[in-house]
Amino acid sequence: MVWDTAGQERFRTLTTAYYRGAMGILLLYDVTNETTFSHITSWLENISHHAPPDVAKILVGNKCDMDGVRAVPTMRAVNMASAFDLPFYETSAKVAVNVEPAFMALVKKMLDRYRHRLARFKSVDGGFPNNNIELQQKQKEKRQWCSC
């Protein structure tokens, strides 16, 4: 499921609830609007307070097709992405530039984190039974039988 709050202040209280269960977050800003870029750090702060610590995040500058009215230089965004260890994409939803690669990168990060969580859980728990018969056998072994 994808939630789009469009960075609107009226949705800020709802986003904290979305963060709790989030596996991935695309942080979008408009390359023609400096204000949207300047809000990225506050969004990252909210994410660090309310989202799982291993949530996948990607920084995306949208409207890269509008170079004539660009307000946020690409290098500035690259530097921010680097500072926060985020993958970075410039996209244009209007002319379909890098939209799919940005989403695919997010999905790949989400899958990597999910696999990492699963491996960590398996190592702590000793793994999952391969099938229902193995599970039933383990349950039988755990039972305490009366010898009377």
* Distance between CA atoms of residues 30 and 146, nearest Å: 70
Asked whether residue 71 carries a pLDDT value surpassing 70, the answer given is yes
Instruction: State the pTM of this model.
Output: 0.74
pLDDT at site 94: 94
Give the residue-averaged pLDDT of 64-88.
Answer: 96
pLDDT for 16 equals 72
Q: Which residue has the higher pLDDT, 2 or 48?
A: 48
Residue type, 74: T
Tell me how many degrees the CA angle 102-69-30 measures, rounded to the nearest 5: 35
40 close to 50: Cβ distance less than 8 angstroms: no
Q: How confident is the model at residue 5 (pLDDT cuts 50, 70, 90)?
A: low
Contact 106, 56 (CB under 8 A): yes
pLDDT at 3 over 70: no
pLDDT tens digits for range 6-58: 665 666 666 677 778 788 999 999 999 999 999 999 989 989 998 888 899 99
Locus of tokens 């989403």: 103
pLDDT for 115: 87
- How far apart CA 3 and CA 23 sit, in angstroms, is 12
- Domains within the chain, CATH numbers bracketed: 9-139 (3.40.50.300)
In which element (H, E) is residue 143 found? Answer: none
82-138 pLDDT, tens digit per residue, is: 999 999 999 999 999 999 999 999 999 999 988 887 887 776 655 554 555 555 555
* Both structure tokens of 52: 């799982």
**CA 2 to CA 99: how far, in whole Å?**
14
**Distance from C-alpha of 142 to C-alpha of 83, rounded to nearest angstrom:** 51
Write down the pLDDT at residue 148. 46
Contact 63, 92 (CB under 8 A): yes
CA atoms within 13 A on the CB side of 30: 10
